[in-house]
Amino acid sequence: MIALLLAGAMLAAAPANAFTLSAGGAQAYGTYDQMMSIPERPVPPIAVSGTLAVNRPGQCAVVQIAYNGPADGIEWRTLNSQCRPGRTGFRTQSQYLWGGAKPPLRLCVGPNQRVAEQGRNCDVHTPRR
């Protein structure tokens, strides 16, 4: 009973801008914030920071954010990768996508970084408008 209460309290304490992704023995979690800018010090409107954790040996994971590619397509930029058990941090700032959409994040896994970056085994975080 106490464990259920503690788990509920921990979930309730998570900020509204938090995200959690999970794919093939890897997790990524952190915050996805919308930033305010002033004319004297403009900043990109999106700020993302978090942790990438790999739990399985022989597994590579990448955290990527979408950006506008050629011909209005979507491309994925790798924020960080991890190819052995452990954790690493990531942080980035980004612009909106075409049409004013917030860029999604994804966590992808594979046997090496190149395969993981191809995006075949992924979990995607699509932020609310």
Cβ within 8 Å of residue 89, ≥6 positions away: 49, 50, 51, 52, 80
**Domain span at residue 29?**
17-125
Output the CA–CA distances (angstroms, integers) from residue 107 to 1, 8, 9, 33, in the order listed. Answer: 34, 26, 27, 18
Q: What are phi and psi of 45, to 5 degrees?
A: -75, -15
Domain assignment present for residue 60? The answer is yes
Domain assignment present for residue 120? The answer is yes
pLDDT over 50 (residue 13): yes
Count of domains observed in the chain: 1
pLDDT class of 6 with cuts at 50, 70, 90:
very low
Asked if 68 and 58 touch (Cβ cutoff 8 Å), the reply is no
The helix (H) or strand (E) run that includes residue 13 is: helix 2-13
Q: What is the pLDDT of residues 34-86, one digit of tens each?
A: 888 778 877 789 999 999 999 999 999 999 999 998 877 899 999 999 999 99
Q: Which amino acid is at 34?
A: Q
Q: What is the pLDDT, as a whole number, of residue 67?
A: 94
Domain assignment present for residue 117? The answer is yes
The rounded distance, in Å, linking the Cα atoms of 57 and 22 is 16
pTM summary value = 0.83
Output the CA–CA distances (angstroms, integers) from residue 54 to 42, 96, 97, 112, in the order listed. Answer: 35, 29, 29, 13
Domain assignment present for residue 62? The answer is yes
How many C-beta neighbours within 10 Å does residue 45 have? 16
**110: CATH:** 2.60.40
